[in-house]
Structure 1
Amino acid sequence: MVDRVIAAQVFVETVERGSAASAAEALGMSRAMASRYLGALEDWTGTRLLHRTTRRLSLTTAGERVLELSREMVRLAGNLKAVADAGDSPQGLLRIAAPTILTEEQLTPLLADFLRAHPRLSIDLRASDRPVDLVEDRIDLAIRIGSQLDPGCVARKLGECRSVLCASPRYLDEHGTPERPEALQSHHCLTYTNFRAAEWSLHAGRESVTVKTNGPFRTNEALALRRASLEGIGIAMLPHFAVAAHLTSGALHVVLPGWEPSAHPIHALYLSRLHLPAAARAFIDYLTGRLHQDRRSHRPAVVQEPRLSHWRHDARPEPRAD
């Protein structure tokens, strides 16, 4: 469900500034997102609010009345926000969406400390490997892995997610250990459905190789991919933070330690800089430092280990940088 207060503010700014593009710039959101809010407001009121031509916008009769009410709604919402922001710490409900394996391995422990520091705050964490719609799902903040993200959102980089090729000792005993990336074509490679096709790009110094992989198992769930590698089904590319303990214990071994997949960023996505809740802003600041700290500390006890790459979660158009 679209946030109706934001939709009202977009409508007011559009009328006062003369275009949805100017309103989007003033509110710190994309033009596509501003247009979406305007459309949602017209759907909500059940009437056309603006006459649109290539040169100008003009209000309909109904739009004139809705403009008055929208201004009042924005004013009252501003008063409520001022009261909420007057507190000493973030409070209220913060809705966050994140990939399952990132939630399991990093976010939940970090959230525990954050909540202890902000006792008046509650968090609704949606763990899913399916990219969510921040508007329809009313998500304040989405954490995603990968550089190709929703162009309708503002993106702030939190850190980098590096991955490693790994397999169980059982699999390597039965099928041998590949010595070159090209040898992966004859191995059982386990792939993530949301990853772009089944091609793995690996780098060693200035040399780069892209390998088309084949295997008996694909999944859209990263925890299942890790389980499959532990069970000896094949070789998997997994986030380093998700397998560091297994590499240290010997349950998994690094494959092709001299080669590393490309690193990709972890982003926090939100709809607008202007309307970012104080709790979300505080959590982003907190998470940025902690993700970098965790990335440095999670190093497997493996000789000649790779500098681990990342693991992408989606393939969508490039976001705007914060």
Structure 2
Amino acid sequence: MTRWEGIDEFVAVANAGGFTRGANLIGMSPTHVSRAVMALERRLDTQLFHRTTRTVRLTDAGRGFLERCERIVQERDEAFALVGQKGEPHGELRVTCSTAMGERFVAPILRRFAMQHPRLSLTIELTNRVIDMVAEDFDLAIRTGSTNDPRLVAVPVASRTLHTCAAPDYLSRRGRPDQIGALASHECIIGTAATWQFKIDGREFLYRPAGRFHCNSGHAVIEACIDGMGVCQLPDFYIFPFLKRGMVELVLEEVQAPDEPIWAVYPQRRHLLPKLQHAIEALKNELAAAMNRRN
């Protein structure tokens, strides 16, 4: 037995929040992982987890030990990656992204990237659910908005603009809102965002819209808007094709929120893996241009 044994298993269980999920992360059996962690605890003469029939939680000693073990595992993996891969992306790259942005932009970019690197396999999960990247073993996520998980690193790769709009027919019937408060007297079409973003006197202002139509699909929201059902706020790539054809009109442009960054987000321990570095570079080079072309 070496001093390394049990560390990978311990880190996996701690990040996944359970022995079975931790075992799945590293491709080992739950029995092996449980025994390895117990052996590690005996060597340390310290309990690393509080265990019940339903939960597994780190002890105070376990939390401190995890921080150091994660750094050790990260540096070891990076050393192997840099020497063994010689800078060439290979292995499996697991990516998650919101459905609409993924279908339109991210999946085509990463598909071309994978075609350029035959030793790389690519898995993309498109969902509007915010995935726990560490627990579910994803390498990369494309996200918007704030990123405040200390386990993750966020790199800006593009940006998008949120626009508020309505159909000309709706505006002729109900009038054009001239200030944010006027939205209270309008029908609002609500998508995945519970609040709409604006900027007043240089400061962010969040408005909670109310309306009869709610849907987690941007396509359905813009179609309802075109049909004259009300006012909506969506990213530019939903709105601009219909704006050019006069099917919607922008409103409240004077309080439009500043551009929202789009981030490539990844777990800290993977930041030097060639497959990740090259994928992020491809997104930096292509995503903004692809979104601008679509607009």
2:252 is aligned with 1:256: yes
By how many angstroms is 1:103 displaced? 0.9
Distance in 2 of aligned mates of 1:226 and 1:175: 18
2:34 is aligned with 1:45: yes
Distance in 2 of aligned mates of 1:209 and 1:270: 29
The one-letter amino acid paired with 1:137 is: E
Q: Which runs of 5 or more structure 2 residues have no equivalent in the other structure?
A: 24-29, 49-58, 63-71
Which structure 2 residues correspond to residues 171-320 of structure 1 after superposition, within 5 A? 171-193=170-192, 195=193, 197=194, 199-203=195-199, 206=202, 210-274=206-270, 277-294=273-290
Q: Deviations over 1:164-194 (max 9, x none)?
A: 012223332332222222211111112234x
The one-letter amino acid paired with 2:34 is: T
Per the alignment, in what secondary structure is the counterpart of residue 202 of structure 1? strand
Label 1:56 to 1:178 Cα distance change in 2 as closer, same or farther (>3 A). closer
By how many angstroms is 1:207 displaced? 7.5
Residue number in structure 2 paired with 1:91: 90
Distance in 2 of aligned mates of 1:146 and 1:113: 26
Q: Which runs of 5 or more structure 1 residues have no equivalent in the other structure?
A: 12-19, 21-32, 58-70, 300-322
TM-score w.r.t. length of structure 2: 0.70
The one-letter amino acid paired with 1:45 is: S
Identity %: 29
By how many angstroms is 1:83 displaced? 7.7
By how many angstroms is 1:163 displaced? 0.7
Distance in 1 of aligned mates of 2:165 and 2:154: 31
Distance in 2 of aligned mates of 1:234 and 1:123: 40
Residue number in structure 2 paired with 1:106: 105
Distance in 2 of aligned mates of 1:111 and 1:160: 18
Distance in 1 of aligned mates of 2:270 and 2:99: 29
Distance in 1 of aligned mates of 2:288 and 2:13: 33
Distance in 2 of aligned mates of 1:227 and 1:109: 24
The one-letter amino acid paired with 2:85 is: D
Contact 2:78 2:273 in 1 (8 A): no
By how many angstroms is 1:124 displaced? 1.2
Q: Deviations over 1:224-254 (max 9, x none)?
A: 3333323332211111123222222223221
How many aligned residue pairs are there? 255
Distance in 2 of aligned mates of 1:292 and 1:205: 28
